[in-house]
Amino acid sequence: MDVLPLPAGERPLGGRSDPDFAFASRGRVLKAYGVDERLDVALDDRSFADGRWEEALDRAFRRRKAQGVENPILVGAVPFDGRQHARLFIPEHCDYEDAGRMAADPDPVALNAIEETVGRNAFEAAVAQAIDLFRDTALKKVVLSRPLDVEAREAFAPGRLLRALLRQNPGAHVFAAPVAYGQTLVGASPELLIRKTGRTVVSNPLAGSAPRSPSAEVERQRTAALLASTKDRTEHRYVVDAVRAALAGHCIPLSVPDAPSVIRTPTMLHLSTELTGELVDPAVSSLRLAHALHPTPAICGTPTGLARDAIDRLEGYARNWYGGMVGWMDSRGNGEWALSIRCGLVQGRHLRLYAGAGVVADSDPAAEWEETAAKLTTMLNLFGVASTRPSNTDLPVELAS
């Protein structure tokens, strides 16, 4: 990732102690230790409109510089609902590590239970209700998600999950971010919301998905079908159009490919479009740009207000950190923020996983359930468990990839 050199005054910490925050991108892991100052705030429109949030951040950066740090950074997580407080802080120390050296094989984990918090019937009924809304309202797309609860015999170690995710998902934005006392958000997101390096910005929205196959021929067929799918192309276009509209006022020029390509994660195929632009005002920060984009139709829907209302009515649980964003920003506004998807919330022996699917008028409820099951595989691969495996009394067992 295009990170700046280690800021003056920061020193790598020795040993194998786990960082308090970690974010991997393009072969390197940013590791942050300790908390110099917290800046937890609701990053809604009001926070940016009156300038007070950015002024507070600038003061915090200046205090850190006065301590001898040339270019301090801010790290953390932002929830799906911008009205809820983000979990952001300036670390005491930071360093970078090669992702390959930090990666490790999963440790065997004894699981007690895997529970569907929202069952298949309830999820498919919600998708059917969303399809009805497309006929009766101006809603065009809504992303509906569901959680899956995993319980282990002993407490999960977020650092171990992080290292295993790095091994299994070498091209992803792998992260571990503290979000509350005793709670850590861990994941391997394939989706870059925004990256800012100087005047250059990049956003890589994904929408439209299909599961990978071990058969090269089947994978070729699925890739061709995904590129030809009216349903998936429509879902993808909504996202690209929204990102284009949000960045157009900031970037001249803004380059948008005419058609999507397909990217591959270890578990999924995704329609992908990478937008690149040059900022008119280089002082605009990556976090301000991320706020302008969030939530995109890739994680919420369109129009945004109607999609949020539908999510509140139909999902049946609180997303909190799922569907938000995780990342970092330095004192010059450079930074990188990824959507918090393919993730789970760790608290002691409990791990809540999440997966969502974009619903449009042509959606099939059963197919959307299967899509969420395929996406859950990214995290369930840590334990060698199929996403379709029901809760049963045979657990606990020793499970590993």
Strand-pairing partners, residue 38, are 89
What is the identity of the amino acid at 2? D
Strand-pairing partners, residue 357, are 144
Cβ proximity of 23 and 328 under 8 Å: yes
Q: Which residues contact 207 (CB under 8 A, 6 or more apart)?
A: 232, 235, 236, 238, 239, 270, 271, 297, 298, 358
Catalytic: which of 141, 196, 336, 371? Answer: 141
- Classify 328 as helix, strand or coil: strand
Instruction: Dig out the tokens for 295 from the structure.
Output: 């939530």
Cβ proximity of 194 and 337 under 8 Å: yes
Q: CA triplet 100, 103, 105: central angle to 5 degrees? A: 130
What is the identity of the amino acid at 274? E
Identify whether 70 is a catalytic site residue: no
- Could you give the dihedral angle defined by the CA atoms of residues 174, 180, 181 and 187, in that order, rounded to the nearest 10 degrees? -20
Identify whether 31 is a catalytic site residue: no
Backbone angles phi, psi at 256, to 5 degrees: -130, 115
CA dist., res. 317 & res. 207, Å (int): 23
CA dist., res. 294 & res. 193, Å (int): 8
- Using CB atoms within 10 A of its CB, is residue 115 exposed (0-12), middle (13-18) or buried (19+)? middle
Ramachandran area for residue 198 (φ above 0: left; ψ -120 to 50: alpha; else beta): left
Catalytic: which of 10, 37, 191, 315? Answer: 191
Report cis status (omega within 30 of 0) of the bond before 295.
Answer: yes
CA terminus-to-terminus distance, the chain: 28
Q: List the catalytic residues.
A: 141, 191
